[in-house]
Amino acid sequence: MKALSTTPPGHDVILYDGHCRLCIAAAKQFQRLLGGHGTQLRSFREEGVLAAYPGIALERCEQGIQLIQADGRIFEGAEAVVQAMGRRPAGKLLFAYYVPGLRQVADWVYGLIARYRFRIAGRACPDGACAIHFK
């Protein structure tokens, strides 16, 4: 599988779903854990955000968090969490993700949570636009 990449932002960027309460809470947790380590968190729902990162489709963002590293490499879903947190001392433990079998389980669990995130935590859209996700 070809590695995904986009225009290098010069610093890490995490794209999350700003219409999802679970995703917003996770982004706040990332903010707290990553502190001032140069990672920017942005909701892919904000106007113009995806345009800044060619090659990242809305559909991919709908399926999971996107980590764009400073050099433009893109990691998605559970792997994005591992890569983002792996730079922290305790985050090194997350690299167990790459043990055969664990990765598949982690990806499956992450995908299940991402798919049903609006049912799990509800929506956070004041304008009602999130109704399209709650099928």
135, part of any domain:
no
Pairing of strands 74-76, 40-43: unpaired
35, part of any domain:
yes
Q: CA 118, CA 33: separation in Å to the nearest integer?
A: 24
- Compute how many other C-beta atoms are within 10 angstroms of the C-beta atom of residue 123: 18
120, part of any domain:
yes
3, part of any domain:
no
129 by DSSP, 3-state: which? helix
The pTM of this model reads: 0.84
Q: CA 112, CA 131: separation in Å to the nearest integer?
A: 19
Give the residue from 55, 93, 47, 95 showing the smallest Cα distance to 68. Answer: 55
130, part of any domain:
no
What is the number of structural domains in the chain? 1
8, part of any domain:
no
Length of the chain: 135
**pLDDT values of the chain reduced to their tens digit, one per residue, 135 residues:** 557 899 899 999 999 999 888 999 999 988 888 876 678 999 999 999 999 999 899 999 999 999 999 999 999 999 999 998 887 777 778 888 999 999 999 999 999 999 988 888 767 665 555 555 444
Sign for the pseudo-dihedral over CA of 71, 103, 63, 83: negative
Which residue range(s) make up the domain with 44? 13-125
For 27, the token pair is: 């982004």
89, part of any domain:
yes
